Amino acid sequence: MADETEKTESAADPAIDPIAIEPIAGGPGERILNQEEIDSLLGFDVNDDQLQDTSGVRAIINSALVSYERLPMLEIVFDRLVRLMTTSLRNFTSDNVEVSLDNITSIRFGDYLNSIPLPAILAVFHAEQLDNYGLFTVDSNLIYSIVDVLLGGRRGSSAMRIEGRPYTTIERTLVQRMVEVILQDMCQAFDPLASVNFRLDRLETNPRFAAIARPANAAILVKLRVDMEDRGGRTELLLPYATLEPIRKLLLQQFMGEKFGRDSIWESHLATELWSTKLEIDAILDEQIMPLNKIMNLQVGETVMLNASPESKIELRCRGVPLLRGRMGRAGSSVAVRVEEAIERTDASKAL
């Protein structure tokens, strides 16, 4: 009877929370927190975002996005990159690879470094003609998928995600080879617009060591999705605006039509018009250097002797540029020149 009395008193005690001893499916004595309690525990309040000032100068200072619409050719370049990557990664992995472009946004460089999901491999590459750097981020899912595909893993098995260890030399080497393939595709994607050589500089696993710009600088972020049937992952390309500044005028061009780069219709039209263009060609028999006073004192009827004979070669020029050599003759009632050789262009003639 004494034990039953103690149990009744403890159950009626208001200091004991009945929820704490309520049995839950996760185990005895466990309690599942709701979203509000989790936000309160982590110090996050949804109402704070609504109370922030989003007008005036503060909105400009706190803005993390910068419009990239002022560079309309970028979408064409990255669309070309996706097509090239789909072909090159298929050849690289010998598997069915699909590359898709998720979105193109603008972000502050510091905000992007803080948002990189770790673990990841960051590839810093150098744009030689632009004399600046860019960043490639490969997430862990894509890293393990590439390693699994290249080393002959079974299809249908989900990639094992191992946390708490650095990437091995084999994983870094395979990812480096994949990044080099993508950088070659980037060179081809930018080639119709400007010749740019992208060269891999180094691989990093810590975002602090991949600081290629100041945190407040604006950059363009391109998110790509790589799917290999049941495996895959994401890779992100970050190009600071300072890197693209030398070719900014080219990127400002408005894209017209479906073709990028060469236009065969315009080339054929230009070639046709060039072939039908008329030019004046001068036939030079001889040249002499004479004093100015002698030229000024020339009288009607005087003869100027030329150092040439009927067998001498005649030089054909167009606007002072020597083009051909030949011999003088007659064709019917007209004086003609038969071309015998072409004159090799010199630096002086090229300058003219």
What's the pLDDT tens digit per position in 286-313? 888 888 888 888 888 888 888 877 778 8
CA distances from 297 to 303, 305, 306 (A): 13, 16, 18
Contact 124, 183 (CB under 8 A): no
CA distances from 81 to 99, 244, 273, 323 (A): 10, 16, 35, 44
pLDDT in tens, 91-117: 888 888 889 888 888 888 888 888 888
Q: How far apart are CA 146 and CA 150, in angstroms?
A: 6
Tokens standing for residue 348:
């002086």
3-class DSSP assignment, residue 89: helix
Task: Please state the rounded mean pLDDT for residues 260-281.
Answer: 82
Q: How far apart are CA 270 and CA 243, in angstroms?
A: 35
Task: Please state the rounded mean pLDDT for residues 215-230.
Answer: 87
Q: How far apart are CA 222 and CA 295, in angstroms?
A: 73
Q: What is the CATH number of domain 73-251?
A: 3.40.1550.10
Q: What is the structure's pLDDT at 50?
A: 43
Q: How far apart are CA 98 and CA 85, in angstroms?
A: 9
- Which H helix or E strand runs over 266? helix 264-275
b/e sequence 180-205, b meaning 16+ C-beta within 10 Å: ebbbebbeebbebbeebebebeebbe
Reported as a pLDDT band with limits 50, 70 and 90, residue 339 is confident
Of 33-47, 97-111, 332-346, the least confident = 33-47
Q: Residue ranges of the domains in the chain?
A: 73-251, 278-287+309-352
Nearest alpha carbon to residue 176 among 118, 238, 228, 125? 125
pLDDT in tens, 52-78: 445 555 555 555 455 554 677 888 888
- Determine whether 116 is exposed, middle or buried from the number of CB atoms within 10 Å of its CB (0-12, 13-18, 19+): middle
Q: What is the structure's pLDDT at 351?
A: 54
User: For all residues of the chain together, what is the average pLDDT?
Assistant: 77
